[in-house]
């Protein structure tokens, strides 16, 4: 499928635009959930539609950006089918996929460069889930209200 959803707030807009170009050049089909300018906006407005698309399987994975990556990750992780991981170093991006089967990478746009973000996204997308002992741990993440 190779369809990736991407979402940001105003603090992540410039980096989002850079990453869209980077990902398209790599052959990915990108669905942009906003925001669409540097004008101040609220991260949940872009995060919720991305999370819903991940849950429905409309996108294979997601990239989310805000100033610290905290707010957008908190919003994304309210959705039971989303495992958003804040990543600012290579090792975190790799472990988020390998051990946690993360399906959204959240990037702190005010703390790393666009080129660093592209490298993190590349690692995130190329790293497979290891399975094994991590499988049952990941299965325990969703809240069971039943």
Give mean pLDDT, residues 88-95.
98
What is the pLDDT at residue 136? 94
Q: DSSP assignment, residue 133?
A: H
Under the banding of pLDDT at 50, 70 and 90, the label for residue 50 is very high
DSSP-based three-state secondary structure for 50: helix
| Model confidence at 70: pLDDT above 60 | yes
The mean of the pLDDT values for the chain is: 96
Active site residues: 66, 99
Domains identified in the chain and CATH numbers: 3-139 (3.40.1400.10)
Q: Are 64 and 53 in contact (CB under 8 A)?
A: no
- For residue 146, pLDDT over 90 is answered with no
Number of neighbouring beta carbons within 10 Å of residue 136: 9
pLDDT of residue 11: 98
């Amino acid at each position: 499928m190779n369809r990736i959803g991407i979402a940001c707030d105003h603090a992540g807009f410039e980096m989002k635009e850079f990453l869209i170009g980077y990902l398209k050049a790599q052959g990915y089909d990108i669905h942009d959930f906003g925001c669409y300018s540097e004008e101040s906006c609220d991260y949940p407005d872009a995060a919720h539609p991305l999370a819903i698309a991940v849950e429905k399987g409309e996108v294979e994975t997601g990239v989310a950006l805000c100033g610290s990556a905290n707010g957008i990750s908190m919003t994304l992780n309210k959705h039971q089918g989303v495992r958003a991981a804040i990543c600012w170093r290579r090792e975190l991006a790799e472990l988020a996929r390998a051990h946690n089967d993360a399906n959204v990478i959240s990037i702190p746009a005010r703390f790393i460069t666009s080129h660093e973000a592209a490298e993190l996204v590349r690692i995130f997308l190329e790293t497979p889930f290891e399975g094994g002992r991590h499988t049952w741990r990941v299965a325990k993440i969703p809240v069971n209200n039943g």
